[in-house]
């Protein structure tokens, strides 16, 4: 027992020393780099047009070498954070995110009637789509993907759907699967990308979903009914606290899993990973909105811009004035102004100087 305890303490001490010393040193590898390419994976927080392609083509995936273009009315109500990040940091964007996605449909699949199938996931669709594109050459001999291991950043921001309603939050995951399975899936994606040549990664942790109107408490103006969850339970306080517990638990695991994989397990030799604490950034925006929001009205952290009534073809929606005064665009998604803030900070992350990131490797 004593030997086991000493081993655990030694491991924890190693991680503590790693956290206190290595992040500042590891960030030097980023500060000395010039990046040209950004590859993103995720869900509606990052998607531009991929889910739309599935919907408009009877559930069929985009062909290899497909370019979706810019979406000026994405889930933020405008351009998405990844597009802004590509503009602010002068990066070529390859965006594989799909609205509604989870990390793996073998863990927490979510059915989507519009395509008569589960939402395409990262492990089963987004990752293979990128790998196919990374090896694709057009008929005229031009390579579709021009990124190199030394100048390409790979970003994963997933989890909003994995731990949300119709998944872990409502005990709808595949039988026997647990929250750590979701997290392990993220690092499985990292390994597959690493094996395909990736060396620089930014992992974005879970947003403060307990503050989103869909999951917030009554005092934070949590909604009782929403298009995203029409059969939501009446005890929205319980819903909010369970969501908060899941977010906090997984983000704590994120903090230690990355240094473990790089420094202890040596899973990705020569790789560099930045853990972007987007949760802390968004919480700071929510807590101190006057420092981030630039709308013409008073900052609004509990309301949202887009309000809809009805469903399907009978749904009608309206938008509030001054959208840049809001943290939330709708019940679940950050506003375009919040996405701009995330994109600007992402630029600091890839420079190796962000106070919201820890650097490993």
Please give the chain's pLDDT, 361 residues, in tens.
Answer: 333 433 443 444 344 444 444 444 578 889 989 999 999 999 999 999 999 999 999 999 999 999 999 999 999 999 999 999 999 999 999 999 999 999 999 999 999 999 999 999 999 999 999 999 999 999 999 999 999 999 999 999 999 999 999 999 999 999 999 999 999 999 999 999 999 999 999 999 999 999 999 999 999 999 998 899 999 999 999 999 999 999 999 999 999 999 999 999 999 999 999 999 999 999 999 999 999 999 999 999 999 999 998 777 788 999 999 999 999 999 999 999 999 999 999 999 999 999 999 999 9
What is the model's pLDDT at position 53? Answer: 98
Bridge partners of 300, per DSSP, are: 326
Kind plus residue range of the DSSP H or E element containing 169? none
Instruction: In whole angstroms, give the CA distance from residue 220 to residue 223.
Output: 9
What region does 8 belong to: left with phi over 0, alpha with psi -120 to 50, or beta? alpha
Main-chain phi, psi angles of 298, to 5 degrees: -60, 140
Asked if 55 contacts 42 with a C-beta cutoff of 8 angstroms, the reply is: no
Do 163 and 179 form a contact (C-beta atoms < 8 A)? yes
CB atoms within 10 A of CB 113: 7
Contact assessment for residue 33 and residue 15, using Cβ atoms and an 8 Å cutoff? no
Homologous superfamily of 34-281+338-352: SGNH hydrolase (3.40.50.1110)
Partners of 319 in the β-ladder: 306
- The per-residue pLDDT for range 19-52, each reduced to its tens digit, is 444 444 578 889 989 999 999 999 999 999 999 9
Q: What is the full DSSP assignment across 135-167?
A: T-B-TTS-BS----TTTEEEEEE--TTTTSTTT
- Within 10 angstroms of residue 329's Cβ, the number of other Cβ atoms is 24
Q: Provide the 8-state DSSP code for 83.
A: H
**CA torsion 360→266→183→344, rounded to 10°?**
20
Q: For position 26, what pLDDT does the model report?
A: 78
How far apart, in whole angstroms, are the C-alpha atoms of residue 228 and residue 44? 12
Q: Which residue has the tokens 């390409």?
A: 152
Predicted TM-score (pTM) of this structure: 0.93
Tell me if 214 sits within 8 A of 304, measured CB to CB: no
pLDDT at residue 226, rounded to an integer: 86
The residues with which 92 forms a beta bridge, in sequence order, are 37
Q: Residue 25: what pLDDT?
A: 55
Cα–Cα distance, 339 to 142 (Å, whole number): 33
User: Where are the domains positioned within the chain?
Assistant: 34-281+338-352
Estimate to the nearest angstrom the gap between the alpha carbon of 120 and the chain centroid. Answer: 15
């Amino acid at each position: 027992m004593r030997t086991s305890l000493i081993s655990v303490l030694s491991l924890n001490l190693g991680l503590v020393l790693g956290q206190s010393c290595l992040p500042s040193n590891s960030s030097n590898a980023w500060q000395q780099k010039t990046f040209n390419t950004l590859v993103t994976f995720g869900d509606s927080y990052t998607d531009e047009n991929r889910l739309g392609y599935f919907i408009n083509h009877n559930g069929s995936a985009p062909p290899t070498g497909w370019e979706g273009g810019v979406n000026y009315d994405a889930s933020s109500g405008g351009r998405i954070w990844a597009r802004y990040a590509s503009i602010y940091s002068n990066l070529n964007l390859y965006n594989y995110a799909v609205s509604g996605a989870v990390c793996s449909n073998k863990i927490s699949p979510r059915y989507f009637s519009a395509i008569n199938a589960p939402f395409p996931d990262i492990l089963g669709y987004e990752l293979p789509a990128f790998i196919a594109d990374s090896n694709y050459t057009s008929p005229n001999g031009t390579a579709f993907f021009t990124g190199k291991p030394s100048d390409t950043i790979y970003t994963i921001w997933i989890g909003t759907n994995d731990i949300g309603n119709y998944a872990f939050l409502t005990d709808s995951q595949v039988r026997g699967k647990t929250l750590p399975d979701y997290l392990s899936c993220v690092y499985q994606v990292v390994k597959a990308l690493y094996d395909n040549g990736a060396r620089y990664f930014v992992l974005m942790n879970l947003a403060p979903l307990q503050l989103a109107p869909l999951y917030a408490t009554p005092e934070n103006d949590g909604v009782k009914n929403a298009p995203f969850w029409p059969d939501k339970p009446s005890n929205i306080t319980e819903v909010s606290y369970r969501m908060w517990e899941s977010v906090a638990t997984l983000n704590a695991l994120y903090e230690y899993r990355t240094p473990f994989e790089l420094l202890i397990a040596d899973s990705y030799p020569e790789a560099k990973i930045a853990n972007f604490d987007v949760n802390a950034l968004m919480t700071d925006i929510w807590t101190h909105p006057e420092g981030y929001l630039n709308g013409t009205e008073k900052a609004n952290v509990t309301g949202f811009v887009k309000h809809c009534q009805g469903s399907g073809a009978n749904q009608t929606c309206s938008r509030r004035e001054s959208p840049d005064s809001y943290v939330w665009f709708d019940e679940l998604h950050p506003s375009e102004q919040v996405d701009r803030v995330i994109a600007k900070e992402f630029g600091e992350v890839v420079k190796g100087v962000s106070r919201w990131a820890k650097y490993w490797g």
